[in-house]
C-alpha cells in the first residue's frame, strides 16, 4: 500500500491505472470506450485525487491523434461529466485540443471540435484562472 492513502483509495487508483492501460495502449475500441466511461464516472465515494488522476488520463487521450476520433470525443465527454472536479489541467487540455484544428491534429474533425467546445461549456469554474486559454 502506498503511504498516505487508504486501502479503498488504493483500490480506486488501481481501477484508474487499468483503465489508462486499456484506453491508451489498447487496440479494442470497445475496451477503450469502456475506459473513458470508467474514468469519467468514478465511484461515488472517490477522492479528489482519484478523480483528478482519471481526468489526467482522459486529457492525455485527447492529445493522441492515433486514437479514434470517437474515443477522443468520449474522453472529452467524460472530462465534462466530471465537471469542476476534473480541475484546471483537464480544462486546459480541452481548450488546447480545441485550438488544434489543422489536418492531422487533434481537433481536425468537426465532430471532435464540436464536442470539445460543448465540454468546455460544461466545465464550470474549472475553466477560469490557470485552466483558461
Distance CA 2, CA 9 (A): 10
Q: Contact at 8 Å (CB) between 88 and 126?
A: yes
Confidence of residue 131 (pLDDT cuts 50, 70, 90): very low
**Three-state secondary-structure class, residue 5:** coil
pLDDT for 2 equals 58
Any idea of the CA torsion for 12, 18, 24, 26, to the nearest 10 degrees?
Answer: -150
Per-residue pLDDT tens over the stretch 66-107 = 999 889 889 988 988 888 888 777 888 888 888 888 888 888
DSSP string computed for 59-106: HHHHT-TTS-HHHHHHHHHHHHHHGGGGHHHHHHHHHHHHH--STTST
Closest listed residue to residue 81, CA positions, set 34, 42, 129? 42
With a cut of 70, say whether residue 52 has pLDDT above it.
yes
Amino acid at each position: 500500500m502506498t503511504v498516505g492513502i487508504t486501502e479503498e483509495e488504493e483500490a480506486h487508483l488501481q481501477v484508474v491505472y487499468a483503465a489508462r492501460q486499456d484506453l491508451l495502449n489498447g487496440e479494442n475500441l470497445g475496451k477503450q470506450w469502456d475506459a473513458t466511461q470508467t474514468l469519467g464516472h468514478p465511484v461515488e465515494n472517490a477522492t479528489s485525487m482519484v478523480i483528478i488522476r482519471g481526468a489526467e488520463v482522459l486529457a492525455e487521450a485527447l492529445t493522441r491523434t492515433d486514437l479514434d476520433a470517437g474515443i477522443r470525443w468520449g474522453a472529452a465527454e467524460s472530462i465534462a461529466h466530471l465537471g469542476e472536479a476534473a480541475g484546471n489541467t483537464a480544462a486546459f487540455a480541452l481548450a488546447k485540443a480545441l485550438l488544434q484544428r489543422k489536418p492531422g491534429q487533434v481537433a481536425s474533425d468537426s465532430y471532435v471540435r464540436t464536442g470539445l467546445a460543448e465540454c468546455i461549456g460544461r466545465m464550470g469554474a474549472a475553466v477560469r484562472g490557470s485552466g483558461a486559454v
